[in-house]
Amino acid sequence: MKTTRVDGRYRLAITSRTVAAVGGGYALAAGFTAALSLLLAQGMTRVEAVLTATMLSWVVYAIAAGWAFYARTAWGAWGGTLLPAMVLGACATAPQWMRAAA
């Protein structure tokens, strides 16, 4: 059987993907929860909207963690989790920005 040698760059790439899955997935799930709860609060009570968004965020977190290891590169893993997280975070804070600007 042929033995393969694992170098430091490979370990660093796996570590980076793991951190992207955990940290970036958490940021994406948090942004998703905030944006979706604000959207759902227009049609239902605030408690139900937050609970529904929180339960759905577990699915988003699992998909983000899977994406971090499915992406071709570690940079793609970070971009695929943090860029949507920033967009959703901006959507969640936009109502506060609009009130402050008025």
Write the pLDDT tens digit of every residue in 45-83.
Answer: 999 999 999 999 999 999 999 999 999 999 999 999 999
Res. 5 pLDDT band, cuts 50 70 90: confident
Structure tokens belonging to residue 42: 């227009």
Beta strands in the chain (DSSP E): none
Q: Residue 88, class by beta-carbon neighbours within 10 Å (0-12 exposed, 13-18 middle, 19+ buried)? A: buried
Average pLDDT over residues 76-101: 91
Q: Residue 8's pLDDT band (boundaries 50, 70, 90)?
A: confident
Count other C-beta atoms under 10 Å from residue 39's C-beta: 13
Averaged confidence pLDDT in the chain = 92
Give me 46's structure tokens. 């605030």
